[in-house]
Amino acid sequence: MVETLLSLRGLSIEFVRGSDRRQVLDGIDIDVARDRVLGILGESGSGMTTLAKAMVGWVSEPLHVTGGELLYRGRDLHDLRVQREVRSKIGFIGADPGNAFDPTLPVGMQIAEKLRAVRPDIGDSAAQKRVIELLDAVRIPSAKSRYSEFPNQYSGGMLQRAVIVDALIAEPELLICDNIIQPLDVTVAAQIVRLLRELRGRISAGIVFISTSVPSVAEVADETLVLAGGRIVERGEPMEVAHSPKNPITRELVARTPRIWTGDEIAGEPHHDHERPILQVQDVTKTYRKRDRQTFFGHQNVQAVRGVSFSVFRGDNFGLVGESGCGKSTLSRLLSWVEKPDQGSIMFEGRDISTMNGRERLAMRNGFQLLLQDPYNCLPPHLSVGRSIGLGLQVHGVRRKEIASRVRDVMREVGLSVDDLHSLPVGMSAGQRQRVNIARALVLEPRLMILDETLSALDPVEQSRLLALFEQLQVKHGLTYLFISHDLAMVRRVCTRIAVMYLGKMVEIADTSGTFYDSRHPYTRALLSAVPTLDANPYKPEECLLDGEPPSPIDIPPGCSFASRCPHAFARCRVETPLLREHKPGRLAACHLLDQAPANEAAA
Amino acid sequence: MVSLISFLVRRILQGALIILLVSFGIFAVLRLVPGDPARLVLGPMASDQVVEVAAREMGLRDPIPVQYVHWLGAALHGDMGQSYIRAINGSQVTGSHDEFAQAGKAHVLDLIGGALPYTLQLAALALLFAAIIAIPLGIAGGMRSGQWPDKLVLYLGSAFVSIPNFWLSVVLALVVTAQFHLIPSIGYQGFSYTILPAFVIAIEMSPIFMRSLSSSVSGARQRSFVSLAEIRGLSRWRIFFGHILRNAAVPVLNLFGVQIGALLGGILIVEFIFNYPGLGLLTVQAVLQRDFPVIQGVAVLSAVLFVVINILVDLVSTWIDPRLDF
Amino acid sequence: MLIDTITVAAAVPADKTAAVSPGRRIWRAAYAEPQFRVGLVLILILIITALIYPYLTPLSATKIAVLERFKPPFFLSGGTWLHPLGTDQLGRDLFLRSLIGLQNALLISMSAVIIMFVFGAAIGLFSGYYGGWIDTVLMRITDAQLAVPVIILAITILTVRRPTVETVTLVLALSGWPAYARVTRSVTLSERQREYVRGAKILGASDLRIIFQLIAPNVLPPIAFVAVLDIARMMIFEAILGFIGIGVQPPTPTFGNIIADGQKYLINAWWVATMPGAFLFAALLGINLIGTSVEQARNKVLGGTI
């Protein structure tokens, strides 16, 4: 029996600010039933968040409802009284778990506060007990002590779980999930999706799952709706929509979803070792000292990077992947010599950077450049585009006239209009700003470019455009690239060699097909099993996916740092740290399993 | 617990350093002043030889660091020296010419101790008035930003900030006391003499708190978790008291710690104008009369107060917002 | 210091709607507010009058005219428009004296604010950027000075050295620089973490270049706004010093000494003490209204709500 909880009938919502008037949602018809999961697919900007908020009756300035109805069990949800009554029956989970809680109060307390607000009949200690039970049920370790901890002590994944607990604590009939996996790391997102499916079995709520990820929606939903330009353009059974979409917009969305396992050819073979590497990192270590609040003058050591070694050869596209906390941001800072490694060496074109003096290092910066992630903060807001691009040349003492002409040339090359020479970054889009960033680095004629999550903040269309630009520039200037990214799909498309990082160490380095089809480290497999994909994943999540979180970089246990979460860990793993070993030419992994049963290799 | 003690120890040490720096600074400045304190004590009639002898006995011919160490040693034992000017019996004399009258001079600590209660009373009343003005308006302005309470905060704040405190004192003395005989102003013969000076100080202090409170309340209101809280089902009251006010309080508290200096400054002037017998009057007179030991004593006291209050402010702030590490 | 209240929003987020420069939009937003216009009118009137009137009128601010003693202001009986604010005990026109007082006050305050801003901001920039022991030392000195009520310091120094226009200016500057240093330091600290600073370092920019070419232009404008408001505050401070007797000395008219003198005649000729004060109040109100409206407008424009 289908029990309809929420009904949207021809709902239209407008955005009005000053003279700016836009239709955000246009004639939306949706029914949400109990015990069913409704997936809503769309691109960012299609009105998803507005729709999510509208479903809980949250429509505030500068948004206005201009038509249609919103009914909860037949009652008008725009009526404030109805809203208040119905609050306890609807749970909402937003896309920004970091800002969902008051940072000055413990998380558990706030969830209990919410419970007692909607169910005043429950007492203090009963509420606390319930919260701890539910925190435990969503697999937050040591739930009891976590109850009294503050939001800043929770990791991103844990916060999202806490928000889920908050939404479910009052046993709602309806749960709205707005883009809940987007801000998370791949493995964490996979865990949350798995959690949602488990919970679904246990509670009988209706769930609305809104996302930009086609595979994730297909995995979770019973029915899929596609939202584009404020309208529902397609409805259907999730697998059908994913594999044979009818509407052209849906088709484009699906087409843009990367195929990892059945897609195009891998990007080509890596270059060979007989050349000298353009960049050689050897045993680099970096530890930060943090004040230990628990003792008088004690310190804690945060081991961000622990003995990392790898080489990048000329013409290669080297990819460095890892999730939050793996140390890749620290490594990036070390590579750009903004900070110095405590141990180990970084050699560029055969010369150790730490042995260079100031002038030599400045000259070296001509040789390799680093592009950062955040398009909105990477450019000084008060310098014009031309001056930003010319900054590097200015530093190197190039004469003004020459600067002007070189800046113009490079702007044309990266696809910026020369008219923008005197514009401020303030009006430019993310893609344009990244182009300015690229121009700034390119104008110095580097030979190596390190791209630190440079494309992560861009939408897929812009990403493809910039990737094409990178390819062009590589051919024209003979560039070598080092991509630091968490986006495995992009890395697969573009890179020739891939290194996987976990908790400050490299756990696997191999050419792309080796990484994807012959991975030897359990973490790599877990990572690959977690990437949402429409084609069949050879790494089954049930076998490979992890539980829990990585250990803190302050208290790294002895032996293999992955042992605490590895499904194949055995005694040796907890005692002896595995070293990176070559198991096939050009493919290295750091795992004790490599020593076991070489016969398994024949089966691979 | 350990972190709390470690925090306190560190801050107290830092505070002691500041107090030492301040006391040495003032000490040195005073000693570098032209004019001989010994001459001041003995008066213009004493002969040069007598002055010289007295100066040497008072230690005024020693190098400055040495003098400072002497002073410091005595101060740590509770003896801040004696006034150059005031006598123990309360009168102000500039010494007799034929005898070394230093012994009959009032002790600095006594002078300060006598004036302190009046000033504390004044400060407390002033802060109370300021709170009555600033808190309701600030909160209203923050909760209704862009509407009339916010505008009121702006106008009133600008007006109050533009009023010179000494002018206001004169006007109030003229109108309230002389014209309407409502509240007395000059001197002190009862609690009611505290009202007008406290009011002037409150007018001076309130705008800054009003604006800070208004802006932090408005900022807190716009945080995501506040709008989400309503969706989650929390009542308006709960959101306001339990979340908005909490988060808004910290910047305002910090401001308080910094504004202590301004408060003391305001007290100084206002006491002088109203002839109110507190520390402010004592200090201004001491400076105008070159009474160094008293100036030194008051400067040190104010530094101590500044340090203590800032430590308290930090403690309370961290209690409210645990993100702020010690 | 008013400077302490500002939550300095130095980071400019991407403003996708900018067709006009931010400066002009701030001006327009401020102009839309009535209090801005009121303040602007006040200030313009006062400034123009202060610049022209003293040179056109036959009256003198300093010459004694015994016959004209204690003339009341224009709104009392016996008052005329010749002496709109009345005359003092020596027959000098109060309006003229107030105007000259305003000239002096503006001169002293503006110079003092410029000095304290430049000096304080420089210290704050270096302290915030380099951190480490430089920061610790500079901040301890700043704290030490903040611990002493500014007025004690000021009075002490002025009792020691003759209070001329220059010394008073320097004393005012001395009293104010710690607050600027503190605020500049804290915004520099957060600005230093921003991506574009790192980007510049990667390009090879030197520390000095980063501080002066990148951080300072981004961080200083909001502080400069508040500095304008501090001009008003300095004017009050200077007047207080004059009132106690250690400001610029008579016969040069400053609000402080005019009002202090006038205190003696409160009962019979109350306007001598109060009218110049009202004049000062009007001037300060103008400055403050303009300053706060512009600051609010700036926050709205850069915060994206306009």
> Residues 6 or more apart from B310 whose CB is under 8 A from it?
B15, B257, B260
**In this complex, is the C-beta atom of A438 within 8 Å of any C-beta atom belonging to chain C?**
no
Q: What is the pLDDT of residue B100?
A: 46
Q: What are the start-end ranges of the E strands in A279-411? A: 279-291, 299-312, 317-321, 343-348, 351-352, 368-371
**In this complex, is the C-beta atom of B165 within 8 Å of any C-beta atom belonging to chain C?**
yes
Q: C-chain residues within 8 Å CB-CB of B26?
A: 148, 152, 156
Asked whether A488 and A532 are in contact (CB, 8 A), the reply is no
Residue C82 backbone phi and psi in degrees, to 5: -65, -40
pLDDT exceeds cutoff 60 at A22:
yes
Q: Which residues pair with A90 in a beta bridge?
A: A174
How many alpha carbons fall within 13 Å on the CB side of residue B279? 28
How many C-beta atoms surround the C-beta of residue A579 within 10 A? 12
Q: What is the pLDDT of residue C15?
A: 41
Q: What is the pLDDT of residue A271?
A: 64
* Euclidean distance between CA atoms C229 and C235, whole angstroms: 10
Whose tokens are 């957060």? That residue is: C190
Average pLDDT for consecutive 10-residue bins of chain C (306 residues)? 38 41 73 83 84 77 76 78 80 84 89 94 92 86 79 73 83 88 87 85 87 88 83 88 81 83 80 87 90 79 58
C146·B258 Cβ contact <8 A: yes
**In this complex, is the C-beta atom of A348 within 8 Å of any C-beta atom belonging to chain C?**
no
> Residues 6 or more apart from A118 whose CB is under 8 A from it?
A87, A88, A170, B232, B233
Q: What is the pLDDT of residue B126?
A: 94
Q: What is the pLDDT of residue A273?
A: 55
Pick the closest to residue A346 from A286, A285, A282, A277 (CA basis).
Answer: A282
Q: What is the pLDDT of residue B104?
A: 62
pTM of the model: 0.81
- Quote the DSSP letter at residue C300: H
**In this complex, is the C-beta atom of B323 within 8 Å of any C-beta atom belonging to chain A?**
yes
A56-65, A262-271, C292-301: range with highest mean pLDDT: A56-65
Give the B window 259-288 contacts with C, CB below 8 Å. Answer: 259, 261-262, 264-265, 268-269, 272-273, 283-284, 287-288
The set of chains that have 3 or more CB pairs under 8 A with C is A, B
pLDDT exceeds cutoff 70 at A201:
yes
Q: What is the pLDDT of residue C121?
A: 93
Q: What is the pLDDT of residue C16?
A: 40
* Euclidean distance between CA atoms A335 and A320, whole angstroms: 13
Q: Tens digits of per-residue pLDDT, B116-150?
A: 999 999 999 999 999 999 999 999 988 887 788 88
- Where does the pLDDT of residue A82 fall: very low under 50, low under 70, confident under 90, or very high at 90 and above? confident
pLDDT exceeds cutoff 70 at B165:
yes
Q: What is the pLDDT of residue C7?
A: 36
**In this complex, is the C-beta atom of A96 within 8 Å of any C-beta atom belonging to chain B?**
yes
Residue C261 backbone phi and psi in degrees, to 5: -60, -45
pLDDT exceeds cutoff 90 at B174:
no
Asked whether B202 and B133 are in contact (CB, 8 A), the reply is yes
Interface residue of B177, B250, B287 to substitute, partner C, most C CBs within 10 Å:
B287
Sign of the C-alpha dihedral, residues A484, A486, A491, A497?
A: positive
Q: Tens digits of per-residue pLDDT, A484-522?
A: 988 888 888 888 899 999 999 999 999 888 888 888 898
Q: What is the pLDDT of residue A599?
A: 46
Interface residue of B10, B231, B253 to substitute, partner A, most A CBs within 10 Å:
B231
The burial of A129, by beta-carbon neighbours within 10 Å (0-12 exposed, 13-18 middle, 19 or more buried), is given as middle
* Euclidean distance between CA atoms C289 and C285, whole angstroms: 6
Q: First CA to last CA across chain B, in angstroms?
A: 11
Assembly ipTM: 0.80
Mean pLDDT across chain A: 85
Find the largest Cα–Cα distance for chain B: 86
The whole-number average pLDDT for the span B25-53 is 74
Pick the closest to residue A155 from A95, A97, A94 (CA basis).
Answer: A97
- Per the model's pLDDT, the better-predicted residue between B104 and C217 turns out to be C217
CA-nearest residue to B226 within chain A is: A102
B225·A102 Cβ contact <8 A: yes
> Residues 6 or more apart from A145 whose CB is under 8 A from it?
none
Q: What is the pLDDT of residue B125?
A: 93
DSSP alpha helices (H): ranges in C57-131? 94-130
- Where does the pLDDT of residue A213 fall: very low under 50, low under 70, confident under 90, or very high at 90 and above? confident
C281·B19 Cβ contact <8 A: no
Q: C-chain residues within 8 Å CB-CB of B181?
A: none
Q: What is the pLDDT of residue C2?
A: 42
B211·C5 Cβ contact <8 A: yes
> Residues 6 or more apart from C149 whose CB is under 8 A from it?
B261, B262, B264, B265, B268, B302
> Residues 6 or more apart from A4 whose CB is under 8 A from it?
A31, A32, A33, A34, A73
Q: What is the pLDDT of residue C14?
A: 38
Q: What is the pLDDT of residue B88?
A: 65
Find the largest Cα–Cα distance for chain A: 78
A104-113, A135-144, B29-38: the lowest-pLDDT one? B29-38
CA-nearest residue to B301 within chain C is: C148
**Least Cα separation, residue C66 to chain B (angstroms):** 25
Q: A-chain residues within 8 Å CB-CB of C22?
A: 426
Helix C216-244, helix B246-274: angle, nearest 10:
30
Mean pLDDT across chain B: 82
- The CA-based angle A287-A292-A293, given to 5 degrees, is 150
Q: Tens digits of per-residue pLDDT, A425-462?
A: 877 888 888 899 999 999 888 889 999 888 887 877 88
Q: What is the pLDDT of residue A483?
A: 92
Asked whether B259 and C1 are in contact (CB, 8 A), the reply is no
Q: How far is CA A156 from the centre of its chain?
A: 11
Of B165, B215, B295, the CB nearest to C156: B295
Pick the closest to residue B244 from B215, B213, B212, B217 (CA basis).
Answer: B217
Q: How far is CA B163 from the centre of its chain?
A: 20
Q: Give me A414's structure tokens.
A: 């990266």
Of C152, C278, C285, the CB nearest to B299: C152
- Per the model's pLDDT, the better-predicted residue between B91 and B194 turns out to be B194
Pick the closest to residue A145 from A134, A158, A133, A132 (CA basis).
Answer: A132
Q: Tens digits of per-residue pLDDT, A297-317?
A: 677 888 889 989 998 988 888
Q: What is the pLDDT of residue A132?
A: 92
* Euclidean distance between CA atoms C181 and B14, whole angstroms: 19
**What order do you get walking across the sheet with A299-312 strand by strand?**
A299-312, A279-291, A343-348, A351-352
Q: What is the pLDDT of residue A537?
A: 82
A166·B2 Cβ contact <8 A: no
Report whether the peptide linkage leading into residue A151 is cis, meaning its omega lies within 30 degrees of zero: no
pLDDT exceeds cutoff 50 at B83:
yes
Interface residue of C138, C174, C243, C258 to substitute, partner B, most B CBs within 10 Å:
C243
Of B151, B212, B303, the CB nearest to C148: B303
Q: What is the pLDDT of residue A113?
A: 92
Q: Which residues pair with A587 in a beta bridge?
A: A584
- Quote the DSSP letter at residue A592: G
Distances (CA, A) of B109 to B77, B80, B294, B295: 11, 6, 8, 11
B164·C151 Cβ contact <8 A: no
A427·C200 Cβ contact <8 A: no
Find the largest Cα–Cα distance for chain C: 77
Asked whether C266 and B170 are in contact (CB, 8 A), the reply is yes
Helix C150-160, helix B279-288: angle, nearest 10:
20
Q: What is the pLDDT of residue B47?
A: 79
**Percent with pLDDT over 90 in chain A:** 14
CA-nearest residue to B280 within chain C is: C152
Q: Which residues pair with A280 in a beta bridge?
A: A311, A347
Q: C-chain residues within 8 Å CB-CB of B303?
A: 144, 147-148
Q: What is the pLDDT of residue B128?
A: 94
Pick the closest to residue A494 from A297, A318, A286, A331 (CA basis).
Answer: A318
SS3 A397: coil
